[in-house]
Amino acid sequence: MERLHSALLKEEVFRDQLPNGLQVYLLRKAGYHRSYATVATRYGSTDSRFVPAGAAEPLDVPPGIAHFLEHKLFEEEGGSVFDRFAERGASANAFTSYTLTAYLFSCTEAFHENLRLLLNFVGRPYFTDELVEKEKGIIEQELKMYDDHPDRVLVRNLLEALYHRNPVRIDIGGTVESVRQITKEQLSTCYATFYHPSNMVLFAAGDLDPQETLRVVRETASDGSPRGEIRRFYPEEPPAVRERRVEQRMAVSRPRYALGLKDTATGFTGEDLMRREIAHNMLLHMVLGRSSEAYQRLYEEGLIDDGFSAYYTASPLYGHAILGGETDDPDRLHDELTRILERFRRDGFPDADFRRAKRQAMGEFLNGFNSLEFIAHSFVSYHFRQANFFRYLEIVQEMPPEELRAHAEGLLDLERSSVSVVRPR
């Protein structure tokens, strides 16, 4: 078992790869009362065109099928896996993102017993035509509920405006129409392709014995040998945004506003992608973080409140920044943000602001490192993007201001921006 050591964090991760291709990472947190584990597959909502296992030609599946499959794996003959976790004193959950699906649990006792349960239920799907049809109705209701959630609608409309063809513009759960098209055979094909151990990772953290935990994993994991890379296909995305502005009226007491900035430089992986994400978020902190002059002025003028945020997110397939929140005057806020971003792009930033942003990035990371959930989810997310999460702090420390100045020109280009507004009816 390999040991990965971070001198800055004073942490050590134990790594191994099983004969079936599953990569295992174990983080011992001495003195922690709670333990946490997640098993994840590099399969998200954007993976709707691919070559299935054992096939030669690409297959198109309906949007939302990765999320649908996540729901179905918790079902087993005779009941729900949630009940079995509860019987063992564990809290279980799962989520699907644009790029991955993760299954997880936390507990304060019976960790290895719960770990076996996690590996077993993810490794043994149970599909019937009757249960698939039943699930369609459940997910349709979930999607309709999201249609009444103003913050979700705000971001969904923004991504639809930013992107022409990139599948990130489609809701992770798909649409009511696409969900109705999903079949048991399609679910089985997606499972056989994306839930092979070679496409998955297990991360566990807590006051655990790495050798004993690895023994449990080896005993429980399925047999088999590694497979090659899954061939995935994505539509070509033009650099321009699809729409500059989109508005919708809903039953809300205050308007919502979001500004999206489309990053046209995509395809990055590994540490290049991590550096880009860190740099862009540091830029956004400098220009509109809570300690910035611009944020304080907008707050004092009543244009924003504590819910205002500005963040950048990226994968090899896409990259964008989203700025916004609730506001009484979305039009005035838009004008103010436009002037702030244009001035920052033109004039740059003093080194003092850069040092403040660096301290902020390091502080947020170290604060998050107290959470097993933060560590596990961040590690898995960067792992699938071929980056080492435990290098994050070192990259922040070594990053020069010139690197951020080089990024500001592209990120803050308002010619590649879209606006989404939700107003009261």
- Tokens coding 10: 């004073």
Which of the residues are catalytic?
70
CB proximity list for 271: less than 8 A, separation 6 or greater:
387, 388, 391, 395
Torsion over CA of 385, 100, 278 and 344, rounded to 10 degrees? 120
- Please name the amino acid found at residue 282: M
d(CA 394, CA 397): 5
Assess contact for 103 and 36: CB atoms under 8 A. Answer: no
* Residues in the chain, overall count: 425
Q: Output the CA torsion sign for 292, 332, 241, 181.
A: positive
Can you list the alpha helix ranges (DSSP code H) found in 24-180? Answer: 65-73, 81-87, 111-123, 129-146, 150-162, 176-180
d(CA 172, CA 386): 22
- Tokens coding 144: 């309709």
d(CA 289, CA 305): 12
Conformation bin of residue 299: beta by default, left when phi > 0, alpha when psi is -120 to 50: alpha
Task: Give the other-Cβ count within 10 Å of 126's Cβ.
Answer: 14
Task: Give the other-Cβ count within 10 Å of 393's Cβ.
Answer: 17
* 310-to-6, 36, 307, 357 alpha-carbon distances in Å: 29, 29, 10, 13
User: Maximum Cα–Cα distance for the chain, whole Å?
Assistant: 65
d(CA 287, CA 310): 9
Beta strands 200-206; 309-314: pairing state: unpaired
d(CA 370, CA 393): 14
